Structure 1
Amino acid sequence: MKKFWQLLLTAMLAVLLLAACGNDKKKEEAPDSSDQTSEETTTDEVKDTTYPYTLNDASGEDITFEKAPESVISLLPSNTETLFAIDAGDKVIAVTENDDFPAEVAELETVGNFTVNVEKVISLQPEVVFAHEMMLDSSEEGINQIREAGIPVVVVPNAGNFEETYEAIQMIGEVMDKNEEAAQVIEGMQAKVAEIKEKAATITDKRRVFVENSDVPEIYTPGKNTFPQQYLDMINAENIVTEDGWVMISPETIVNENPDVIVVMYSYVPDIIEKIKKRDGFDTVTAVKEDRVVQVEENITSRTGPRLADGLEVFAKAIYPEVFGE
């Protein structure tokens, strides 16, 4: 059971699943799951950060930097991935135990997992700490302790969709004076999303999909206003779940809805694909009969950072391999 909740919390750290312990229900900052389009980022007129530089972060604090930070601690995997993607990875001196990408982070100091080791953060004396808005409820006291020690903490806002993810990347780029690099990352993401949506536009026979985020006896699944729903909208697929947010669903309901594809977004259960196929009544489900129960890599499909467009591609290949396969 402990491993189960650790998995849920890992997903929470990436895409705000906010899985609470005990009997609390899963919930998420409600993103706009509509098929958004916006002006694409361009590097043509990107300017360097002008210092002193002040930003107002997600906690409402005004933080001023006299120069680009030379030493950084990241308290969330998506922040870490962003720092490395914008060519600021050489400034990162510590991360959490949950960080696993890119490979270089394995060599760095760690400052806790879901609980931040505040004393160690302060002892390392970074020039900035990148935290996250969803940490405010559980770690606000620790964040304040770090600030009281004279270390700036930037609380990166929750990202509920692609646009907000782009904004978070841009924010980190501005702090680190890596504006052009951040713009290039965003351009690359936007180009991949556009390519995937163009292919998806050719799909005429929509597949009905069930996305599973935890195993029995408490099966949770994303509905409207979630990242997976945005993925499904972008690739022209239909979610069998119509409720809002993350909801618990019974195996009987899944059987009755008869999805064409089942996407599994976790890996904490060994041989989960075969176990799903052997659930009572699942032998009648189209996804099982046609061997379309697919497990996807949870970190790529859930972290709101530079690999988010890769996560969209993973979903696309899982649901429509004949369209998006190599």
Structure 2
Amino acid sequence: MKKKLLAIITSFVLMFAVGCSSNKETTVTDREGNEVKVPTKLEKIITTAPSNTEVLVGLGLANKLVAVDNYSEGIEGLNKDIPKMDMNKPDAEAIIALEPDIIIASGYNKIGSAEDPYKAIVEAGIPVVYIPSSDSIEGIYKDIEFIASLVNEDKKGEEIITDMKEKISKYEELGKTIKGKKKVYFEIGPAPNLFTFGHSTFLNEMVEVIGAENVFKNEKSWFAPTEEAILDANPDVILTNVNYVKNPTKEISSRNGWENIKAIKDGDVYYIDSNSSARGNQNIIKALDEMAKAIYPDVYGK
């Protein structure tokens, strides 16, 4: 009887140990500085921004995504039938029903919210880590490194970062040879609500990498310039990644009062891929190449 009871207890203990081992947790510090307890093994992941979705796809983990944000629609390698949601106003009930192991959120999700939009989900026991918008290329490397570490794909993450660094260094080498830097205005919000960026943004750094100069380099982060400031800056080249107006380069070139801007007189107004220039991840290389060829075609090729 004692032997039988001991066997039952031993069996129970082993079952409990196995259950615990499969649900081990570790504490991580997310990119926002929050300490979060997360499972060591992640099988079901939700992302709330396309930049993070693309990192996971790049790490080869598209199959572990159980839901993404609406803007992740069309990402190559992503299951087209995956649920897509408004992640700025998350449906807590629908998300909890998917039983995710973790949610990888973006700082953008908090814009306009008085409190954390994922508070109810965290209270339900689902860990949420935040990745704010990176203010530099180095920050993007750290974002990729963090996500890779989170999903136990450190080696693959390191490979992605190394590949980025090697490619960017080639643009830097050519950029350093350029004399008489061209002045660039990069429009990310069209008239009448003009929007662009200054320093402390990865896009400003990309302009500098290729040997050009952002006309608003002395402004900080993302901001709304006045039309007069753009006219006074008189950029040599105008770039835009606006993709929700018809023919954005033609729209810019035909604005009243802009006809004397050097970039418009010379026909140097170009469209840059919206996704790769707006999402801080490994795909900024595509935007960097387009920017380089648009600004200095004789240096980087057309």
TM-score range for the pair, normalised by the shorter chain length: 0.7 to 0.9
Aligned residue number for residue 210 of structure 1: 185
Tell me which of 171, 175, 196 is aligned to 1:196.
Answer: 171
Amino acid at match of 2:62: G
Aligned residue number for residue 15 of structure 1: none
Bigger radius of gyration, 1 or 2? 2
Tell me which of 230, 233, 245 is aligned to 2:208.
Answer: 233
Q: Structure 1 residue 250: deviation in Å?
A: 3.3
Counterparts of 1:1-326 in structure 2, within 5 Å, are 52-57=25-30, 58=32, 60-65=34-39, 67-100=40-73, 101-136=75-110, 138=113, 140-241=115-216, 242-326=218-302
Task: Tell me the alpha carbon deviations over residues 223-246 of structure 1, each in whole angstroms, 9 at most, x when there is no partner.
Answer: 222232211111111122233333
d(CA) in 2 for partners of 1:214 and 1:136?
20
Root mean square deviation of aligned Cα? 2.1
Whether the aligned pair in 1 keeps the contact of 2:57 and 2:77 (CA below 8 Å) is no
Q: Structure 1 residue 257: deviation in Å?
A: 2.4
Q: Secondary structure at the match of 2:70?
A: coil
TM-score (norm 1): 0.78
Q: Secondary structure at the match of 2:118?
A: helix
Q: Structure 1 residue 144: deviation in Å?
A: 2.1
Whether the aligned pair in 1 keeps the contact of 2:27 and 2:35 (CA below 8 Å) is no
Task: Tell me the alpha carbon deviations over residues 105-151 of structure 1, each in whole angstroms, 9 at most, x when there is no partner.
Answer: 43211132532222111010011111123434628544221122222
Q: Secondary structure at the match of 2:142?
A: helix
Structure 2: gaps spanning 5 or more residues: 1-23
Amino acid at match of 2:266: E
d(CA) in 1 for partners of 2:167 and 2:161?
10
Whether the aligned pair in 2 keeps the contact of 1:99 and 1:105 (CA below 8 Å) is no
Whether the aligned pair in 1 keeps the contact of 2:90 and 2:117 (CA below 8 Å) is yes
Amino acid at match of 1:304: G
Aligned residue number for residue 37 of structure 1: none
d(CA) in 2 for partners of 1:226 and 1:82?
19
TM-score (norm 2): 0.84
Change (3 A) 1:63 1:136: farther
Q: Structure 1 residue 217: deviation in Å?
A: 1.9
Query: Bigger relative contact order, structure 1 or 2, given CA contacts below 8 A and separation 6+?
Result: 1
Aligned residue number for residue 44 of structure 1: none
Aligned residue number for residue 9 of structure 1: none
The alignment of Structure 1 onto Structure 2 pairs a total of residues equal to: 275
Q: Structure 1 residue 207: deviation in Å?
A: 0.7
Deviates more, 1:229-238 or 1:278-287: 278-287
d(CA) in 2 for partners of 1:92 and 1:292?
41
Q: Secondary structure at the match of 1:219?
A: coil
d(CA) in 1 for partners of 2:206 and 2:27?
34
